[in-house]
A and B are shown apart, each in its own frame.
Chain A
Amino acid sequence: MLLDSVCLSQRPKLRFNSKIAEILASPRQSVPMESFSQNPSLWQPNRQASQQTDLLVRSILGLFSFVSVATTAGIVLTLFFETVDFFRVIPIWRFFSETRWTPLFASAQFGIIVLISATVLTTSIAIAVALPLGLLSAICLSEYASPKVRQILKPALEVLAGVPTVVYGYFALLFVTPLLQKIIPGLQGFNALSAGMVLGIAITPLIASLSEDAIYAVPRSLRDGSYALGATKRETIVSVVLPAALSGIVASVILAVSRAIGETMIVAIAAGQNATLGLNPLVSTMTMTAYIVQVSLGDTPAGSIAYQTLFAVGTTLFVMTLGLNVFSFWFVRRFREKYD
């Protein structure tokens, strides 16, 4: 009993004290209650039963928390084994050195660079749109908009983030492309340009929201210091606030890049299915994700080369996005300025 109350009051510290943790985890000893009660027969708590229930619940919930770890393990293992099988048939050097991607043809080639080039292209266009839009919106929301206006604008941006990507795909293919074709005559019906631009709109809220958090975290005292030197609002924002928030802003952009690389439906619908090496934004192209969709739509028997390419491409995609995510976490930790 005494132990319990001590543990409770120190709960946060407890996590790091394994000895107390052991004691707590072991079944507790009951303290005789008789002395507290005038009539012992009235008090017969079944402590053993409730402790058993507690243990059971604890185990089940612990098992549930294991599911997320199992998911990660599942992803890594499925990707790994199928990819290994793929490289048993197709040597890894062909994967990285060939310059055509024609796994479904008779004269099959497996140059992943073709799909990567398309992904890089759409992602670059997307960031070119999303970085200025997202960062400027973040500045607007945190520095210029009055609280009232902000209360309207912020949910609106959140709606933008909640639009399903298949809807963006529709918009890119059937609204943006025809519109752009009026301005750019040579633009094909499927192209990286409109897919990339709409992809940029889709990730703008991500940059805006994460950058706004970073800008918001810059202490007021820094702004005051700048104003006190006779700086204008823009000078304060550009020269003091943004550099102070830089680590958070960079991290938000890296996460946005990662999101753009893994984004599927917009590019699958609007960028086309034409796997060609090159960075021409006006023609049809096929990203890594679009390829996975293309193969998935067909009937591919498990164990076939086509089936295994799914996982080889998936692994490439996974490694790229995971690398970017890890890098962004590391970047924030490494370069975050500490203010007190």
Chain B
Amino acid sequence: MQSPTAVLSARSVSVYYGSSLAVRQVSLDIPRGEIVAFIGPSGCGKSTILRCFNRMNDLVASARVEGQITYNDRDLYGPKVDAVAIRSRIGMVFQRPNPFPKSIYENIAFGARINGYRGNMDELVEGSLRRAALWDEVKDKLRDSGLALSGGQQQRLCIARAVAIQPEVILMDEPCSALDPISTLRIEELIKELSGDYTIVIVTHNMQQASRVSDRTAFFNAEATDAGSKVGYLVEYDRTERIFHEPAQEATRDYVTGRFG
């Protein structure tokens, strides 16, 4: 059943790398304006599914996506859909902060410029940095290299960079895994602040993080195949408090209570 408010929805999505299956038969809806967390052990395919939503998997020559993903009820992998256009609507924040080796200002302005932004660039840069709770820290050094910032600041710069092109959805691939606890906390607060305006999908290996920030949680698991590789699959997807307090599946319960692996 596709809910009427779903921005993204996956139907029986399987992803292959070369001939080996990485994730099988995932179906879920991402409701508009909510924060959805993907959790699960490593190798369960949660990042792989995330990267299908903005077609980053297109950049991996051997990757192949089966099934259907719709974005605002249009087939994301349809023949007339352009991956570049999709990515300007569905932004992404990565596991490790990856600011461009440019000034802080240019880091923000780059995406806007290529996407043909017609407004006032200075205002956009300031607005985006404020949105990412970074403005006060960097307003006097906008010409400094983005690489000169601390890890947590770099990651907020990357969020500001994603926000600047005003996407509808922001995908976050373990955005705090390379950060210290304090920086992590700031990013989590930021994610919650952004939630009203953006739909956010966040992959995390940190269950507390999922329970703190998300409205819904999807639990992925992996099983070994005969060939010795792992195949990920979706175990359970529900409201976050249900996943953490009264999950329907035994595996989910084991995982969220820490009895797993």
**Residue B45 is within 8 A (CB to CB) of chain A in the complex:** no
Q: Do A224 and B59 contact each other (CB < 8 Å), given the known contacts A231-B111, A235-B114?
A: yes
- Tell me the residues in window 145-175 of chain B with beta carbons closer than 8 Å to chain A beta carbons: 147, 158, 161-162, 165
Produce 1/0 per residue, A220-257, CB < 8 A to B.
01111111111110010001100110000000000000
Known: A229-B88, A229-B161, A230-B88. A337 touches B101 (CB 8 A): yes
A337 vs B145: C-alpha distance when bound (angstroms): 10
Contact A227 B100 (CB under 8 A): no
Q: Taking A227-B56, A229-B91, A229-B162 as contacts, is the C-beta distance between A222 and B98 under 8 angstroms?
A: yes
* B59 → chain A closest CB, angstroms: 6
Give the residue name and chain of the A residue nearest to B87 (CB).
A230
**Complex: A230 Cα to B88 Cα, angstroms:** 4
Bound: A244/B99 CA distance, A: 11
In the bound complex, residues from chain B placing their C-beta under 8 Å from that of A230 are: 84-89, 111, 114-115, 165
Question: Does B100 contact A228, Cβ atoms closer than 8 Å?
Answer: no
Task: Please determine whether B111 and A229 come into contact, CB atoms closer than 8 angstroms.
Answer: yes
Task: From the candidates A225, A232, A340, name the one contacting B100 in the complex (CB within 8 A).
Answer: A225
Cβ B84 vs Cβ A232 within 8 A: yes
Query: In the complex, what's the smallest C-beta–C-beta distance from A221 to chain B, in angstroms?
Result: 4
A340 to B87, CA, bound (A): 26
Instruction: Give the distance in Å from the alpha carbon of A223 to the alpha carbon of B102 in the complex.
Output: 14
Does B92 interact with chain A (Cβ within 8 Å)?
yes
From A223, A228, A244, residue with most partner B Cβ within 10 Å = A228
| Contact indicator B91/A228 (Cβ below 8 Å) | yes
Cβ 8 A contact of A244, one of B54, B84, B101: B101
Q: A221-B94, A221-B96, A243-B102 are in contact. Are A228 and B56 (CB under 8 A)?
A: yes
Which chain B residues (72-117) contact chain A, with CB distance < 8 Å?
84-89, 91-92, 94, 96, 98-102, 110-111, 114-115
Q: Is the interface on chain B under 10, 10 to 19, 20 to 34, or 35 or more residues? A: 20 to 34
Residues from chain A with Cβ under 8 Å of B85 in the complex? 230
Are A226 and B94 also in contact (CB < 8 A) when A231-B111, A232-B84, A235-B114 are?
no
Known: A227-B59, A230-B115. A221 touches B98 (CB 8 A): yes
* Known A225-B94, A228-B91, A229-B91: A244·B100 in contact at CB below 8 Å: yes
Closest Cβ neighbor of B86 among chain A residues: A230
B70 CB to nearest A CB, Å: 19
| Most central of B54, B98, B161 by chain A CB within 10 Å | B98
Q: Are B98 and A239 in contact (CB under 8 A)?
A: no
A residues contacting the other copy or chain, number (CB 8 A):
21
User: In whole angstroms, how far apart are the Cα atoms of A318 and B122 in the complex?
Assistant: 50
Chain A residues whose C-beta falls within 8 Å of the C-beta of B102 in the assembled complex: 243
Contact with B along A200-231 (1 / 0, CB 8 A): 00000000000000000001011111111111
Residues of chain B within 8 A (CB-CB) of A239 are: 100, 110, 114
Report chain A residues within 8 Å CB of B56.
224, 227-228
Distance in Å from the Cβ of A331 to the closest Cβ of chain B? 15
Whether A222 contacts B100 by the Cβ 8 Å rule is: yes
- What 0/1 readout, one digit per residue, does chain B (24-55) give for beta carbons within 8 Å of chain A? 00000000000000000000000000000010
The answer on a CB contact under 8 Å between B110 and A228 is: no
| Alpha-carbon gap, A242 to B175, bound state (A) | 26
Given contacts A239-B110, A337-B147, contact A226 B100 (CB under 8 A): yes
Contact check, B92 vs A228: say whether CB atoms are below 8 A apart. yes
Residues of A within 8 A of B111 (CB): 229-231
Instruction: Kindly report which residue of chain B lies nearest to residue A247, judged by CB atoms.
Output: B101
Contact between B94 and A224, CB atoms less than 8 A apart: yes
CA distance A243 to B103 in the complex (A): 12
Q: Which residue of B lies closest to A228 (CB)?
A: B92
Q: How far is the CA of A265 from the CA of B99 in the complex (A)?
A: 47
Q: Assess the A229–B110 pair: CB atoms within 8 A.
A: yes
A117 to B53 CA separation, bound complex (whole angstroms)? 59
Least CB distance from B13 to A in Å reads: 20
Residue of B with least CB distance to A219:
B98
Q: In the complex, A338→B101 CA distance in Å?
A: 9
With A and B bound together, what is the CA distance between A232 and B86 in angstroms? Answer: 12
Using Cβ atoms and an 8 Å threshold, which residues of chain A touch B101? 222, 243-244, 337
Within the complex, what minimum Cβ distance (angstroms) separates B68 from chain A?
22
Given the complex of chains A and B, what is the CA–CA distance between A223 and B101 in angstroms?
Answer: 12
Q: How far is B84's CA from A227's CA once the two chains are assembled, in angstroms?
A: 7
Expressed in whole angstroms, the Cα–Cα distance for A190 and B161 within the complex equals 56
Residue pair A229, B114 in contact (C-beta under 8 Å): yes
> By CB atoms of chain B within 10 A, which of A230, A235, A338 has the most?
A230
Q: Which residue of chain B has its CB nearest to the CB of A246?
A: B101
| Closest beta carbon of chain A to B201's beta carbon, Å | 13
**How far is A227 from B96 in the complex, measured between Cα atoms in Å?**
16
A223 surroundings in chain B (CB, below 8 A): 59
Minimum CB–CB distance from A242 to chain B (whole Å) comes to 11
- Interchain residue pairs with CB less than 8 A apart (29): A221-B94, A221-B96, A222-B100, A222-B101, A224-B94, A225-B98, A225-B100, A225-B161, A228-B87, A229-B87, A229-B88, A229-B91, A229-B110, A229-B161, A229-B165, A230-B85, A230-B86, A230-B89, A230-B165, A231-B84, A231-B87, A231-B110, A232-B84, A232-B114, A239-B100, A243-B100, A243-B102, A337-B147, A338-B147
- A224-B59, A229-B111, A230-B114 provided; 14 other pairs, C-beta below 8 A? A219-B98, A221-B96, A222-B101, A225-B94, A225-B161, A228-B56, A229-B91, A230-B87, A230-B88, A231-B110, A231-B111, A235-B114, A239-B100, A239-B114
A-B residue pairs, 8 tightest by C-beta: A230-B88, A229-B111, A228-B92, A221-B98, A230-B87, A225-B98, A337-B101, A244-B101
